[in-house]
Chains A and B, each alone.
Chain A
């Protein structure tokens, strides 16, 4: 969609500009999705800009390129694919350490980490839960404490609130003001956006506000909470976006898993040179993909057999006024 500056309060910008403006060294950062809707275009841009000392809220996050670019100092981890290794010598953790970046891991479960964001979103200092009992997270994570319920005396796990400095969330569509709509499995994007101090919306399409208003329950983030809106088609590739495209599994494996032959670090460094540092932005990345694999390969990922809902109906009690 073509947007003029007067219409959008200046929020619509490129990924490069949004990251430059709103992601700073040392930030605590949420990079949306839980398998689905991973904000991969944003990760590539952060890697290119070499932003340092980030603390990643890693609730099922593919942060391989950020680790390979040595942007991350600490992870709040429930599940982060690329911290895995069979041999330390061939791991991203070691690659970072060699450069003086000692990645600290703070251990959580999915629900526990989500609860920290919930507390952050509610504007309260801590929250209690019944999860984590019996797990060794209690032994190795000093940020998990215990509290007695003042009403029943029940012993509960207490977790501090978490307010990321910035959340980057990839959705299907947003209007130019940042009223962002997402459907499918939401993961923790709802509470991460609410908890974050700044929000960058990355979306497949910028649409007219009228599209948003016609199905307003679908709005995940209120526009007035959003600092930047980036139209980034294929922004989650090689991961997936509901109703738009599916996983590009062979491509994902190229940088996420050790190759059958040769070392993982060699493979991911090659990937970084080719697909992250070797392109200026997402447009170039997609052009490169088409050049190497063909347009058909990209088209094949698109959702072809669509399933759509019945209409959501709103209206007025009277006829025309």
Chain B
């Protein structure tokens, strides 16, 4: 009998399931990287995983790099190159998926990884968005992965590092972003959220067994909408967990 999935493992497996075969994905640091490796390894998907420093590979690395871009990731990649070339691919429209994490996410899927509180006098400062903004602007669909609590899932982010639907329908287009682009899902340790086609507001599509709607509401900073047909999120299977743990045992932590 295999031990139950941790919140962290749940997010990785759920995120991997969002990727279709033959996807070109811009992969951010942390959970997105693990999810991509897991999708390559377990589902044997053919994914072109693009890393912002200038790299892409389609095979899982021998072990996950402890730091983004480290030897394990760059060795036997199909391409090592530059930041400009990596983002040019996205700006030219050749990258369908962007995989990001962050510090805060709001009901329109705007992500903040810059600072909390007033920009001029923040109560908390993150290192900066890195390429998260570029990914959310230049890739067609954004997949957001983040553990949820009331501070992280807030009604309005303090700073838009990576734009979602900004303040509602049509706002992305008005702000100069291409039509039909934007976040498609938020994955947390409690469930899966999607975005309403008309209102562009996030709603709960499914939650894990044992998670109550009350728990969802208590860990979200606004009165989040719940799908009328809310489902249960599939727990990772024993086989999925075995494969994932085999990957994770080599790299328990990524910091940048």
Contacts and interface: CB of A to CB of B under 8 A. Distances in A.
A194 to B, nearest CB: 11
A86 B124 contact: yes
Contacts of A46: none
A136 B130 contact: no
B138 A111 contact: yes
A133 B177 contact: yes
B82 A191 contact: yes
Given A134-B160, A184-B80, A247-B66, A84 B134 contact: no
Interface string B121-154: 0111111111111101110000000000000000
A60 B67 CA distance: 12
B127 A187 contact: no
A34 B69 contact: yes
Contacts of B175: 133-134
Nearest to B86: A111
B162 interface: yes
Contacts of A253: 255
A245 B233 CA distance: 42
A114 interface: yes
Contact of A187 (B54, B125, B136, B162): B54
B84 interface: yes
B75 interface: yes
B220 interface: no
B207 interface: no
A34 B137 contact: no
Contacts of A135: 129, 133, 137, 160-163
Contacts, number: 171
A300 B71 CA distance: 14
Contact of B256 (A81, A83, A86, A111): A81
Contacts of A265: none
A256 B159 contact: no
B87 A110 contact: yes
A36 B53 contact: yes
A84 B127 contact: yes
Contact of B71 (A112, A129, A240): A240
A63 B26 CA distance: 26
Contact of A136 (B74, B124, B128, B160): B160
B187 interface: no
Given A131-B138, A135-B161, A187-B82, A110 B255 contact: no
Given A183-B80, A187-B83, A91 B125 contact: yes
A296 B122 CA distance: 44
19 contacts: A36-B70, A59-B83, A78-B129, A82-B127, A85-B124, A93-B125, A109-B130, A110-B83, A110-B134, A111-B138, A134-B137, A135-B137, A135-B163, A136-B160, A185-B55, A191-B82, A239-B67, A242-B71, A246-B70
Interface of B: 51-55, 66-71, 74-76, 80-84, 87, 91, 114, 119, 122-134, 136-138, 159-163, 166, 171-172, 175-177, 255-256
Interface pairs A-B: 4 shortest CB-CB = A134-B163, A133-B176, A79-B130, A109-B133
Interface of A: 34-36, 58-60, 77-86, 88, 91, 93, 107, 109-112, 114-115, 118, 129-137, 140, 155, 157, 183-188, 190-191, 239-240, 242-243, 246-247, 249, 252-253, 256-257, 303, 307
